[in-house]
Amino acid sequence: MGGCIGRRRQATLGTIGGAGAEEVAVLPCVNLRDLGSVCPTLRTGMVYRGSQVLSSKEMERIGVKTVVDLRKESKMCRQAGRERRRVLREGESLRVAAPEPFTPDSASSMEQVAGKRFERSLHTLQRQEHPPCAACSGGFKARHGVDAAVYHADLHPWTFKRRIFLEMPPVTQASVAVAVCLGRSPQETIARAMLMPGRLGLSGMYRLLLDNASVPIARALRLFADSANYPVLVHCVIGKDRTGLVIMLLLLLCGMDEQAVVDDYLLSEALLRTSRSKGELSTLQDFLISDEMIASKEDTARGTLAHLAAKYGGARGYARAIGLSDAEVRAIRGNLLAPGLKGAASAASVDICAAATCAC
């Protein structure tokens, strides 16, 4: 991935991670960037965050192997996924080779083998329970010429939608019910009602996502524990809200300090405004690219981090609460942290989100 990084154009929208940080490398797609440019302690060419507006040329240059799609999963994909899981559970199309015999010469070599076995078991379990979508993986290859595995992790599950509906005023609930009965999408009605003064707002929506979308969030985060999945692209529609929340958690688990996480979140609005002025968002519905929808404000990010700290004790506490093991978190950090920092990061026991100190 090093050659690809060297050919990127540099952002002119400020820096990330505080004084002394390098300019963020922004790729020529809508709201797409390499997390390795957010903090110098993260490896470059590993994780990219973006929107659904992608460039085939850039996808090929990145060499993305795994796509984490946080958008709503189609009915066809859900049905195919259930059938695929049934087949895999029955062992009809998945055969895992037994680990090769090994005689450890030292404690360190034993740890390496244990890590490999854990990773192999994790990869097997993921593909059995939540295999990549064959239809979307094929579609991605057809559109972009890249053979990548597309995994669905719908961050708007029924539990979240129900909570959003209950937070709406009665008149909005009625409008949504009518739209659903008529076969129309209530998405715009819900979004505008949510952003009205005195309503949930984006910060409230993020809190509800954290509390009510734990299953898909855990599914998305687990993909980063498997080194075979990289480079990974994670995206939603405009790459700000659902993607932003997953990236917040990922950066916190990797030891980024609060200010750097906030700065990365703020960058999305600047990039989206630039893309909108260039007409690069013309394929999206008008309400999705309104000022209210593309806004990414500091108090929104800090409110989300405060909720993580107050309710879960920080990002690590949240990871445990949604079912991620300590081994999975260590695997994520080991995959993303630059060489020389992995050991120190693994030894750190204080949650960055709660402690407001930087392990970078």
- Please, are residues 338 and 40 in contact by the beta-carbon 8 Å criterion? yes
Measured distance CA(342)–CA(134) in Å, rounded: 34
CATH architecture designation of domain 2-93+113-157+213-354: Alpha-Beta Complex (3.90)
Predicted confidence (pLDDT) per residue in 51-108, tens digit: 998 888 889 999 999 999 999 888 777 776 666 666 666 654 444 443 444 444 444 4
Predicted confidence (pLDDT) per residue in 168-209, tens digit: 878 888 888 887 888 877 777 777 777 766 677 888 899 999
Reported confidence tier of residue 7, pLDDT bands at 50, 70, 90: very low
Is pLDDT larger for residue 284 or for residue 87?
284
Q: What is the pLDDT of residue 136?
A: 92
Among the listed residues 149, 104, 157, the one whose alpha carbon sits nearest the alpha carbon of residue 130: 149
Measured distance CA(328)–CA(225) in Å, rounded: 6
In the chain, DSSP assigns E strands to: 10-15, 23-25, 33-34, 47-50, 66-69, 149-152, 232-235
pLDDT exceeds 90 at position 337: yes
pTM of the model: 0.76
Q: How large is the average pLDDT for residues 228-256?
A: 95
Reported confidence tier of residue 325, pLDDT bands at 50, 70, 90: very high
- Please, are residues 209 and 177 in contact by the beta-carbon 8 Å criterion? no
pLDDT exceeds 60 at position 351: no
Q: Answer positive or negative: Cα dihedral of 305, 307, 308, 309.
A: positive
Measured distance CA(132)–CA(24) in Å, rounded: 31
Predicted confidence (pLDDT) per residue in 257-281, tens digit: 999 999 999 999 999 999 999 888 8
Q: Please report, for the chain, the start and end positions of each structural domain, with discontinuous segments joined by +.
A: 2-93+113-157+213-354
